[in-house]
Amino acid sequence: MTDAPSHLNTGSHDLAVSPELSRFMAGDWAPSPLPASDRVAAYAVTPARRARLSALFPGERLVVRAGELKVRTNDCDHRFRPYSAYAWLTGLTGEDQAGHVLVMEPSGPHAHEAVLYLRPRSPRADGDGAFYRDRRYGEFWIGRRPELAEAERLTGIRCAPLDALGSPTGRDAASDPELATALSELRLVKDAWEVGQLQQAVDHTVAGFEDVVRALPRALAHPRGERWIEGVFGLRARAEGNGTGYETIAASGAHACALHWIRNDGRLNGDELLLLDAGVETDTLYTADITRTLPLSGRFSPVQRQVYELVLAAQEAGMAALRPGASFRDFHRAGMRVIAEGLADWGVLKDAEGDLHRRYTLCSSGHMLGLDVHDCGKARAQSYLDGILEVGQVLTVEPGLYLQPDDETLPAELRGIGVRVEDDLVVTADGARLMSGALPRTVDGIEEWMGGLLDAARG
């Protein structure tokens, strides 16, 4: 018996391999070509992106890593998702990208040659048995990887073995803030293909919200109904795409007053609202980010309607402020003005001036959307938060009111109500197109939509 070579990722309970088995495993395998890819369009858009990056850093070596696997427990890793800028530059988005590195080598004063350093498929004969012994990377453990020539044909990028990389000098996006910023800013405006991917993400998300409404009777009966909802949405996300683009927020009643309630361990109360903030991420890694706040009874109570309609009015005002040339912050200001005036009308605030309304709104009411749910996060303020909207930018508008259950500034009937309405929009020449308009937003629209789905579910 021989122990596994130390570079193989084996488990403490793996069986040793006899020389006979080792020889037996090495032979008699038929050719198994890589299945055809359905991602040709995803690779076709990447040369233009690399050219834009190249132009910003003439003569400099640029390193963009996919990232590494992260242990979850012992020998089990978390699912791997590559660094968004790596996916954007290469079109490679799979779990098999762990450890891979894109290097942009200067190839003249104003050009770079892209080289992908990959862990290629390991050989069957004359190899170390990695294909059946390495539980992290072996083909018989996690599936087939492309050979270098196959990866080149797929991506149109020269490929080299990861072993040959060594430690490259130059700018590394993992540690060079200037490069990381450039990679965020280059992604601020989406190309037509990206907008199409985001629309797919939105459409699958709409289907996921419909699934959740149909599942409400089961969820209401379960002691952890919030988890049931998370699971129902997650099924749709996994079935149609790569998964959820962020942890689903399924918040019943006062849980909705925690902005990112992802514990989702609560019971659903049929008299309360459910805040569902969820997004499907496509296989190409673009995510939607949508929130609806739904009455679990199917009908808003008068006080729920009062809060909901104020948030909706704020969202309408925010969306109406989107247009190329507007300041990024305009839509937030427009929405917050409506909220502050509403709170003053209710007598919660003395007047609509100042920033006291923020006790009840807590956070900014929108952000860029793309490969990351909070996209382009390393962009400088001057090009994002203090910047000007441009055609092709995709963003959320998501005002909310979070009326904490223990807030003594509020009348008792308002306490414990949390409402957010969140939609995804793309900036167009004359305003913005609502990408998530297939999901109703008005009180009447939501009640009618829920009623239809629940009737159909009950048969």
Which of 98/336 has CB closer to ligand GLY? Answer: 336
Q: Which residues contact 74 (CB under 8 A, 6 or more apart)?
A: none
| Rg for the chain, CA atoms, rounded | 25
Q: Name the minimum Å distance from CB 248 to ligand GLY.
A: 9
Nearer to ligand GLY, 53 or 237 (CB): 237
H/E element, 65: strand 62-65
Half-sphere exposure at residue 368, Cβ-oriented, CA atoms within 13 angstroms: 28
Does 96 help bind ligand GLY (rule: CB under 6 A)? no
| Binding string, residues 249-288; x marks residues near ligand GLY by CB under 6 A | ----------------------------x-----------
Alpha-helical runs (H) found in 321-459: 330-345, 358-361, 443-458
The helix or strand, by DSSP H or E, that contains position 401, with its residue range, turns out to be strand 400-403
Residue list 285-324, contact with Mn ion (CB under 5 A): 289
- Binding of residue 46 to Mn ion (CB under 5 A): no
State yes or no: residue 424 binds ligand GLY (CB under 6 A).
no
User: Which tokens sit at 136?
Assistant: 């992290």
State which of residues 194, 226, 422, 447 lies at the interface with ligand GLY (CB under 6 A): 422
Taking the complex as a whole, the smallest distance from the CB of residue 306 to ligand GLY amounts, in Å, to 23
> How many beta carbons lie within 10 A of that of residue 162, not counting itself?
14
Q: Does 230 bind Mn ion (CB under 5 A)?
A: no
Among 15, 316, 45, 31, smallest CA distance to 186 is for: 45
Q: Taking Cα atoms as reference points, which of 432, 183, 186, 452 lies closest to residue 324?
A: 432
Q: Report CA torsion sign: 72, 76, 81, 86.
A: positive
Distance CA 424, CA 375 (A): 13
Nearer to Mn ion, 172 or 289 (CB): 289
Q: Closest approach of Cβ 258 to Mn ion, in Å?
A: 13
> Does 372 engage in binding with ligand GLY (CB under 6 A)?
no
Say if CB 248 and CB 261 are below 8 A apart: no
Instruction: Write down the least CB distance from residue 193 to ligand GLY, Å.
Output: 24
Of 316 and 423, CB closest to Mn ion: 423
* Binding partner of 246, given ligand GLY, Mn ion, none, CB within 5-8 angstroms per partner class: ligand GLY
Tokens read off for 88: 């954007």
Of the candidates 185, 289, 375, 447, which one interacts with ligand GLY according to CB under 6 A? 289
3-class SS of residue 240: helix
d(CA 284, CA 36): 16
Residue 373: CB minimum distance to ligand GLY, A = 6
Helix-helix angle 46-56:177-185, to 10 degrees:
140
- 3 state DSSP class of 118: strand
Please state the closest distance from residue 301 (CB atom) to ligand GLY, in A. Answer: 25
Residue 417 is which amino acid? I
Nearest approach, Cβ of residue 361 and ligand GLY (Å): 13
Query: Residues touching ligand GLY: how many (CB under 6 A)?
Result: 7
Would you give the binding string for Mn ion spanning residues 78-97, x where CB under 5 A is met?
--------------------
Question: Following DSSP, what letter does each residue of 179-232 receive, concatenated?
Answer: HHHHHHHTTSSPPHHHHHHHHHHHHHHHHHHHHHHHTHHHHHHSTTHHHHHHHH
Instruction: Write each residue from 352 to 371 as x if it is in contact with ligand GLY (CB under 6 A), else as -, in one continuous string.
Output: ---------------x----
Task: Answer yes or no: are the C-beta atoms of 208 and 278 closer than 8 Å.
Answer: yes
Q: Which is nearer to ligand GLY, 146 or 208 (CB)?
A: 208
By a kind-dependent CB cut-off of 5 to 8 A, residue 145 interacts, out of ligand GLY, Mn ion, none, with: none
Binding range to Mn ion, per CB under 5 A, among 15-23, 95-103, 258-266, 398-406: 398-406
Nearest residue (CB) to ligand GLY, 272 versus 422: 422
> What count of Cα atoms within 13 Å lies in the side-chain half-sphere of residue 36?
2
Is the separation of the CB atoms in 278 and 294 below 8 Å? Answer: no
Residue 193: name its binding partner from ligand GLY, Mn ion, none (Cβ under 5 to 8 Å by kind).
none
141 binds ligand GLY (CB under 6 A): no
CB of 321 vs ligand GLY, minimal distance in Å: 19
Q: Which of these segments, 28-36, 49-57, 80-88, 395-403, binds Mn ion (CB under 5 A)?
A: 395-403
Q: Are strands 112-118 and 158-161 parallel, antiparallel or unpaired?
A: parallel
Q: Is 375 in the site for ligand GLY (CB under 6 A)?
A: no
Instruction: Write out the residues near ligand GLY by the rule CB under 6 A.
Output: 246, 277, 289, 367, 373, 398, 422
